[in-house]
Amino acid sequence: MSPSADAHSPSSSLHLIIPFAGRSTPACQAALPGLKLPNLAALLARLPEAAADVQEEHSLTPPHERARAAALGLPPAADGTLAWAALAARRAGLPGATDQAWAWVTLCHWQAGMSEVVLTDPAHLGVQLAESQALLAAVRPFFEEDEIHLFATDAPGTWLASGPVFDGLPTASLDRAIGQPLEAWLPMADGARTLRRLQNEMQMLLYNHPVNDARGDRRQLLINSLWFSGTGRAAVVHPPAAEPAVDERLRPAALDDHGEAWAAAWAALDAGPIAQWLARSRAGEAVALTLCGDRAARRYQGQRGLLQRWLQRTPDVATVLESL
């Protein structure tokens, strides 16, 4: 799970958001025509498309984060400046949560190839609590010199940071950068110079740290860098009556471009939450479904009338997912 997203029980909301419902990577594209999703087809036949958010595939903020922000009542923000970290700091009651700029700091592994460096999914690191605590203690003095204050979170390997450098600074979501060459996703604004320097310094510190010596002995991936994301100040929020349900089960397979696993996760989604949403729609509840891909998020909401359903062709699931 990315730091910017929380999982919610489908029963807690009438709005279901599905990240990575569409994926443009080769294996997921190859799996798309073979998907059998009868409940999704039936639900799309009932719900008209109510809104679409289509942007560049190279936007720093992916469609599912924009969709969740809108559902949470967050005001529109410039690309790469949805302040997820500040929202998390406020919910955690951290000092300065409401009047300072924040960021997520994620321990990660940069895989160097012949011609490019790729960000490995931090979930593959399996960072343990003791490792996270030891590395936090080691890097904290360097961050403090740049007026950046670090805070541990409940997720080992993920910290919160506050400091002026994060104010208005665009950064790429982890969900954009994972598995991709990093050159296009590193923060390049003038205000990011401090962070780029810190990344370089921390790479040297991490390389020689006992945590990585022990990981090397166990033949585990080394923790060799940091990723900054979710930057900005806390926004004034007008919260909805219920937060959206966000189901992220497609995410691991999508990020790894594992077409077979992505198709299996889709089948489980169709048999589970999608079937529940279909039943609720048939019972007369005003459900909403937002499908998100690399380029677009499409929200389906409301009710097609019987005549409208009869006159209009049932949406083709593969075509809908391809459009994301």
Per-residue pLDDT for 308 more than 70? no
Q: Which pLDDT band, with edges at 50, 70 and 90, does 313 fall under?
A: low
pLDDT for 11 equals: 45
pLDDT for 2 equals: 55
Separation of alpha carbons 161 and 277, rounded Å: 38
Q: Which pLDDT band, with edges at 50, 70 and 90, does 131 fall under?
A: very high
Amino acid occupying residue 133: Q
Tell me: the pLDDT tens digits for 157-188?
A: 999 999 999 999 999 999 999 998 888 898 87
Tell me: the pLDDT tens digits for 226-272?
A: 999 999 998 777 667 678 999 999 999 999 999 999 999 999 999 99
pLDDT for 243 equals: 86
Q: Which whole-number Å values give the CA distances from 258 to 26, 91, 173, 253, in the listed order?
A: 9, 34, 21, 5
pLDDT for 191 equals: 78
Average pLDDT over residues 26-34: 96
Average pLDDT over residues 309-318: 69
pLDDT for 61 equals: 96
pTM of the predicted structure, to 2 decimals = 0.91
Domain regions of the chain by residue span: 10-73+241-322, 84-233
Least confident of 65-74, 147-156, 292-301, 307-316: 307-316
Long-range contacts of residues 268-275, Cβ cutoff 8 Å, at least 24 apart: 269/18, 269/40, 270/36, 270/37, 270/38, 270/39, 270/40, 271/39, 272/10, 273/10, 273/16, 273/245, 273/247, 274/16, 274/37, 274/39, 274/40, 274/43, 275/39
Centre a 10 Å sphere on the Cβ of residue 221 and count the other Cβ atoms it contains: 17
**The CATH number of domain 84-233 is 3.30.70:** yes
Average pLDDT over residues 98-113: 94
Tell me: the pLDDT tens digits for 36-67?
A: 999 999 999 999 999 999 988 889 999 999 99
DSSP strand pairing (101-112 vs 158-162): antiparallel
pLDDT for 314 equals: 67
- Using an 8 Å Cβ cutoff, are 107 and 212 in contact? no
Q: Which pLDDT band, with edges at 50, 70 and 90, does 306 fall under?
A: low
Chain centroid, CA 158 distance in Å: 14
Beta strands in the chain (DSSP E): 15-18, 49-54, 101-112, 117-120, 149-152, 158-162, 225-233, 245-246, 288-292, 296-301
pLDDT for 183 equals: 86
SS3 state of residue 227: strand
pLDDT for 130 equals: 97
* Residue whose entry in the numeric block shows the structure tokens 């075509």: 319
DSSP strand pairing (158-162 vs 225-233): unpaired
